[in-house]
Structure 1
Amino acid sequence: MDCLLKTTENPTGRVIANHGARLLVRDAEGHIHRCVALKKLGLVVTGDAVEWQPQASGDARVTQLLPRQSLLQRPDRRGKLKPVAANLTRLVIVSAPEPGIDTLLIDQYIAAAEHANIEALIAVNKHDLLDAAQQDDVDALLNVYRSIGYETQCVSARSTSALAPLADTLSNHISILVGQSGVGKSSIVQQLFPDLDIQIGALSAASGSGAHTTTVTSWYDLPSGGALIDSPGVRQFAIDYLGPAELAVGFREIRETAVGCRFNNCTHLHEPNCAVRAAVDAKHISAERYANYCKLMRELNPAHPSS
């Protein structure tokens, strides 16, 4: 059970689902309470640690939002940035040979994870369907990410045993799955949680709504410890909310190499004496990663000239 830092005498808990204005908060004893948050707290989301106060009647009240260790955000339809899930420690980027491993999308997710202070892990699903030559190609691609410090796994959602390494990696972490449609995210969730129907049923009963919809961001406990926050709406998202400087920080090898650039505000696209472009030419930085960086940078600011 969570060990949460108290700031008052009110009980603490973890938000395990949010149904619009209504929250489900689990206390230290494992009991689930329907709550509403004070408006001054802003948007409280799944994964948030909170203090709450029972009421004489009706829903309990969330009175305090405890400090967040991380916050994953995405733009809404109007472009306004809104929080999706809090206190994540792992962003699991799921890809697959079918429909295709999209490194541009992977690099977007990694940049979002770096910006949000969340560890990124790349999982290639359906790896068992590949022949030896195709597996070698995937391994070469993943080696680019391993060489700059990211964990990678090749998995199969066909059985629980085939996902055991991923389950072990997620143990004691608070994780979320992201990736393009068709890569098998839902199948992975089902295999990771043999008791998924029971957990969904408990959330449905606690919400009092009689149903737990697929649009709700929910917290599910992993059998080996840790949790997965499942937010169907965030399984795909863009990073156009990042500025150019924030995007550069999201590419860790570029961020680390940029200290050698002549100009402090170097975009690494066209400026002279750019240490990043020199590292690409010397094959110290992946040409494909750099090309993805350039594409994303120009999408953020089309006025940038070509390198």
Structure 2
Amino acid sequence: MAKVKKLTKGQQRRIKANHDKKLQGGKDKVQWDDGDLGAPEQGVIISRFGQHADVENNSGEIFRCNLRRSIASLVCGDKVQWRLGKQTQHSITGIIEAVHERDTVLSRPDVYDGIKPIAANISQILIVSSVLPAFNSDIIDRYLVAAEQTGITPVIVLNKTDLLDSISTDEQAAIKKQLQIYQDIGYQVLYASCISLDGIEKLKLQLAEHTSIFVGQSGVGKSTLVNALMPELGLLTKEVSENSGLGQHTTTVARLYHFIEGGDLIDSPGIREFGLWHLTPEQVCHGFIEFSDYIGLCKFRDCKHQTDLGCALIAAGENEKISPDRLASFQRILASLNDNTLTSRFNN
């Protein structure tokens, strides 16, 4: 893939100005005077639709609202102050006036918009992998780095376990070995099948009392898992392409749902390209939490952790104090950052 040139500061300013202009263009087409609005209320953003958003009040009722011009960013999961209009205007029933400070925010880098928030006030990220498409630990590692940057607890889920018998014993052993590495590091690993329903009840327990979001490459069965967990929703799903072996995106708009057993789920189209190219090598390194005992012990302060003489991480990998596979994955991520390309992105 060809290198992408960095934007100049002037280009960045023009892009931001155009972006802000588009955002502001339709926000207040429905005009509200204070006399037309009720008392301020608290709510949570259930979904965002262009220049409007659906707000859920404390009674569980949902209202479609406009946004004040002063609101620079609004995503699913945000807690807001809003006011209900005394009359509905063009299907808009109220206005969002302020966004409360976020406990956490999941963001992604965007070539044109910088760091773009995806969802707010999440307490755990479920990184979904599967037997088909083929299990890929590099993708999991990248999501773990992103999760560690947010401070949101990651949980790894191996989906489609009913397909394990359809792959070779060597492939099964490789998956088991890799998942054991994550468990040894301290990450929680869950197993699920929407066909046999194995692990679904345990997954429900994990989701209770949390606001969660599922991430993972296309085709791993995120929407199918949501269907199994919330059959009343009937979300659309698509099978993995027989030609490419890749998944097909199904969710189109981020939406917050409530589990009957407790807890919330933000089902999001997520990010087709959830990159790490905005991170520094140091941030990536800290995303591999088992490397912490070796950071700063390299012979040279500017060690690149590739083929450098006296690299503490390479020595730890050779002595199997850290996983050689994880070290190799880390080195591949660093290489993609150093190349200054978009190859550090990966499909969601």
Question: TM-score, length-normalised on structure 2?
Answer: 0.74
Structure 2 CA distance for partners of 1:227 and 1:160, relative to 1, 3 Å: farther
For these two proteins, the number of residue pairs brought into alignment is 281
Segments of structure 1 that go 5 or more residues without pairing to the other structure are 1-8, 199-212
1:163 touches 1:192 (CA, 8 Å); kept in 2?
Answer: yes
The one-character-per-residue Cα deviations of 1:56-108 (angstroms, maximum 9, x if unpaired) are 44442222221212111123463632111011111111111222111111111
Q: Is 1:50 the counterpart of 2:80 in the alignment?
A: yes
Partner of 2:151: 117
**Post-superposition offset of 1:110:** 0.7
Partner of 1:12: 42
Segments of structure 2 that go 5 or more residues without pairing to the other structure are 1-38, 236-249, 341-348
Structure 2 CA distance for aligned equivalents of residues 154 and 85 of structure 1: 25
The one-character-per-residue Cα deviations of 1:112-146 (angstroms, maximum 9, x if unpaired) are 11111111111111212223945444222101001
Matches within 5 A, 1:139-218: 139-160=176-197, 162-197=199-234, 214-218=251-255
* Aligned counterpart for 2:263 among listed residues 226, 250, 257: 226
2:162 touches 2:195 (CA, 8 Å); kept in 1?
Answer: no
What is the Cα-based RMSD across aligned positions, in Å?
A: 2.4
Partner of 1:90: 124
Partner of 1:129: 163
Structure 1 CA distance for aligned equivalents of residues 303 and 40 of structure 2: 50
Question: TM-score, length-normalised on structure 1?
Answer: 0.83
Structure 2 CA distance for aligned equivalents of residues 214 and 171 of structure 1: 22
**Post-superposition offset of 1:214:** 4.1
Structure 2 CA distance for aligned equivalents of residues 37 and 47 of structure 1: 15
Structure 2 CA distance for partners of 1:227 and 1:233, relative to 1, 3 Å: same
Q: Is 1:287 the counterpart of 2:324 in the alignment?
A: yes
**Post-superposition offset of 1:148:** 0.9
- SS of the residue corresponding to residue 245 of structure 1 reads helix
1:48 touches 1:68 (CA, 8 Å); kept in 2?
Answer: yes
Q: Is 1:260 the counterpart of 2:297 in the alignment?
A: yes
Structure 1 CA distance for aligned equivalents of residues 96 and 230 of structure 2: 29
1:15 touches 1:46 (CA, 8 Å); kept in 2?
Answer: yes
Structure 2 CA distance for partners of 1:295 and 1:261, relative to 1, 3 Å: same
* Aligned counterpart for 2:61 among listed residues 28, 31, 34: 31
Partner of 1:106: 140
- Rg larger for: 2
Letter in 2 for 1:302: D
**Post-superposition offset of 1:27:** 1.3
**Post-superposition offset of 1:236:** 5.2
